[in-house]
Structure 1
Amino acid sequence: MNKLNFIKADKPDCSNTTDSGKITVIVREFITTTLAEKIATALWNKPELADSIIRFNYDNKIKNDCFNVIALNETGDVVGRLFCIQNAEDAGLWYYGDLFVVPDYTGKRISKRLLETAEQALSDKWCHTLRCYVEPDNKESLRLQREYGFTECEYKTFNNLINSGQLMFEKPIVTFNAVAVTEKNGARYITDIFNENAHLLHSEIIPYSEWCSLISANDTDEKHFLIRKGAVPCGYLKINGLEDGNDGWISILAVSSAFQRKGIGKYAVSYAESFLKKQGKLCVKIHTTTDNYPARKLYEKCGYLLCNSTNTYTAKDKLTYFKQI
């Protein structure tokens, strides 16, 4: 069983450190023996304990995923570090702990830089939530979590870590964004994403020229969105029913195969609900077909109920899901 805490490092031999100068923060999936020795020196002033650092990395790496975020001074000595571990059941949930900054370097916002660097790395790993545990009497760490946007949540376990009696904090990691498509440049991405999923949508291939016409028509009853990670398009969302009535529709939701099972569909549904609610809609409805099992599973997971089904005998039979917002 493993235990990660927020560690106050023993004061190392500072003959090779400096109070000022440039601090470099790096991410390492795999650490070298030399780096492990430097971490052990910073933590306990005992480089001979490097194997315990290596072993801890090994134990977590073979089970799920993990990485180190390390702060180095100008001479290459370790002056701070944290460790991140992926959850065994939810690949988008990560944990961070083992955070320390050596005493001579406190007050230099190194903890903040370590966390910011970890969050950047986690975003590339499709992380949606970062979790940590803190001893109830660790006032400094409690302040740190709240300052950096963590919220105390109901306690839950994480893998095989021993954290009983500690407080649990979580922070959402912004992974995706949505941008309205109003120009032909966006139509190229929509063409690729839609046509890749045309078979699941029981649709014919729609050429780029036709998408350009649809977008340039500026139909006030509908909106087209690209769901992106950073600036890279991953999915396509079309919303209808904007002009009349209390119901809004998710009329098309498609995700590029390279980005499926990463939480994009869930984000798109949530975004559509928020957008339609701002438009004064009271209900969101979605059409799909009986054989589109990924879509049906997504909608049901997002709280949608089956409204009706027509002729449930073939794969193409239409289903309607709805959700009050």
Structure 2
Amino acid sequence: MLRRLLLLAGLALAPLAPAMAQGTWPDRPIRLIVPFGPGGLSDGVARLGAEWLTKQLGQPVVVDNRPGGNGIIGMEAVARAAADGYTLLGASASHLVVLPLMQRISLDPQRDLAPIAITAASPLVLVVSQSLGPTNLAEFVAHVRAQPGQLDYASGGTGGLSHLGMAYLLQRLDLRMEHVPYRSGPLAMQDILGGRIHVYLGNAVEVLPALQGNSVRLLGVTGATRNAVLPDVPTIAEQGHPGFEVTTWNGLAAPAGVPDSVRDRIATTLRAACQDAEFRDRLIRLGTDPVCSTPAEMAASIQRLTPVMHDAIRLSGATVN
């Protein structure tokens, strides 16, 4: 009889076990896999988030850089991990949106990963050398239109966001230019500064150092609103092209199936970060706009950006591998 009572009690309590386990989260260190090497924008945003979460959650959030395969190695490591909230991905729009459109990969980010929060958004900046001549977007359009196909623009690599964003912008402006890919955005900026090429669409963090030498002009940003670190640079949209927006972002994702309670707790903790003046200032100094979204808002951004990037890939002529 006693054995039967104990068995019934165990069955009654069994459904509570997962809830109790979730309630103790986190009770050990959390690993944050960043699918890039240290030092870049994605790594910088991830480390700021990890530092904040460590303080607020009471457990270390350890950044684990896993570069390689255009980010696939790090993404696969997270997708294969247990969906318990102890393995997170330092996610970006490049990984969750652009990569699966450009490359046949072994996972489906929208199926195998769960969005948690966009930490910061990064619009691109249209940069021209001082020697090119135009001082605003209208003058740039007139200058390029007068020489169709004769002017070049740099990118940080074929199929990268600087390439795809510029192809999309040229289509919207009804312009033709020739693409010159570089191995990275900083290398492209070096040649902009050296006068070997005159046009580049890149991240603010790549562009900011060039402003000190007064050798480039910033003609517009591709966000829906002005960039916090470049408040005097108008958006492309407000210069006569309403609705134009190409914004990348960095944030956090987890293996699919992670408990909603864990996702919501991480997102809520990050939302508090974007209310903190020091945290916001550190994101802005990276050239990004603080966001700290909800999981639903991140999922909606993925859905919204996917057709834009699909069109940009088609317009760029980049091939899918």
**If the TM-score is normalised by the length of the shorter chain, which range does it land in?**
under 0.3
Query: Which of the two has greater helix per residue?
Result: 2
Specify which structure has the bigger relative contact order, considering alpha-carbon pairs within 8 angstroms and separated by 6 or more residues.
2
TM-score of the two chains, using structure 1 as the length reference? 0.28
Between structure 1 and structure 2, the one with the greater Rg is 1
Query: Which of the two has greater strand per residue?
Result: 1
